[in-house]
Chain A
């Protein structure tokens, strides 16, 4: 009995030590100050303050994102610059044939996903539709290196800008669908996104320090896989870990969830490409 009580106290104390985000500030390359903590958007009922996932990581992991040379994601950004200038497909075109440079996409990723021609569109859709319709090139695989490197390059142009996705108007029904999914318990473990990332952020899930699950740093270089991870890949991983049959990458369900989760980050800086464990 005494052992049990002691164990409980120890658990309680250790969870207290790690409860919540740390107090570090994220400034990239010594000049770009990032908003990693801000007032939650009004449509979010779960909490008052939102924190970037960066604030939940160890100092060692955090440091990989502070300097662009130390950030391993940047080799993929470099590769995407090459891809941007490389002709592909039947029309003899490269991205650069129509777009002056990646810089013209400033702000785009901060506002994605968005409804275009009645369809909820994510970055992967935009890139593959341009490849198909303009370049006559084969679609890139959703979570493949080429696709996620290009999304990281385009996302980098918005780095430091606040996430600002629209949830009203045409986006409203998709947003409602995504919200419904966020609070739905999936799998044999019967866990919803909210169970971990809203009700238990800051606590430990085994040895992992739970964040609020924001997507403002995606695609993210994940140390576990040592490559860029797409948003849908991360969704799939989480739902799979609840022991559920998961939705597919590129499914309409995940597009809707992507919009809703992005809207929860409204106000945090775009960190793409971030580094996480």
Chain B
């Protein structure tokens, strides 16, 4: 696992059925592009988060493939509509095989 990766997710704790909610996500990650060289002139290998997904109760909201052009500490903002009370599952996939997950509950009133 890449060192010190920490996700941060913002979703409202409650919403009314059918309400459009804004979700923001941020995760600490170097996003080494594979374009940089070290002091000896060797290419530093690419090491990024290459995929991010957000699901609600098993149904997809968004699925993103990331390239090295995504900035250090990847940030995403998008909109979802939730039909019922349940859980958001956020998943980040690292080039090194690590998978980072975050769960957030929301109650639909």
Would you list which residues of chain A between 68 and 113 have a CB under 8 Å from chain B? 69-70, 72, 74-76, 78-79, 82
Q: Is the CB of A226 within 8 A of B72?
A: yes
B residues with a Cβ closer than 8 A to A are 4, 6, 8, 10, 24, 26-28, 71-73, 75
Q: Is the CB of A75 within 8 A of B10?
A: no
Cβ of A37 < 8 Å from any Cβ of B?
Answer: no
Interface size on A, as a range, is 10 to 19
Cβ of A145 < 8 Å from any Cβ of B?
Answer: yes
Q: Is the CB of A78 within 8 A of B8?
A: yes
Q: Is the CB of B72 within 8 A of A74?
A: no
Q: Is the CB of B6 within 8 A of A79?
A: yes
Question: Chain A nearest CB: distance from B21 CB in Å?
Answer: 14
Question: Chain B nearest CB: distance from A74 CB in Å?
Answer: 7
- 5 closest Cβ pairs, A-B complex: A226-B72, A75-B28, A69-B10, A69-B24, A72-B73
Question: Chain B nearest CB: distance from A208 CB in Å?
Answer: 20
Q: Is the CB of B8 within 8 A of A75?
A: yes
Q: Is the CB of B24 within 8 A of A75?
A: no
* Inter-chain pairs besides A69-B26, A75-B8, A79-B4, 6 sampled, C-beta below 8 Å: A72-B73, A75-B28, A78-B8, A226-B72, A226-B73, A227-B72
A residues with a Cβ closer than 8 A to B are 69-70, 72, 74-76, 78-79, 82, 145, 226-227
Residues of A within 8 A of B71 (CB): 226
Q: Is the CB of B73 within 8 A of A79?
A: no
Residues of B within 8 A of A145 (CB): 4
Q: Is the CB of B75 within 8 A of A72?
A: yes
Cβ-closest chain B residue relative to A73: B73
Residues of A within 8 A of B72 (CB): 226-227
Question: Chain A nearest CB: distance from B74 CB in Å?
Answer: 10
Cβ-closest chain A residue relative to B7: A75
Interface pairs (25), CB distance under 8 Å: A69-B8, A69-B10, A69-B24, A69-B26, A70-B24, A72-B26, A72-B73, A72-B75, A74-B8, A74-B26, A75-B6, A75-B8, A75-B26, A75-B27, A75-B28, A75-B73, A76-B28, A78-B6, A78-B8, A79-B4, A79-B6, A82-B6, A145-B4, A226-B72, A227-B72
Question: Chain A nearest CB: distance from B79 CB in Å?
Answer: 15
Complex CA gap A70/B24 in Å reads: 8
Cβ-closest chain A residue relative to B9: A69
Complex CA gap A76/B26 in Å reads: 11
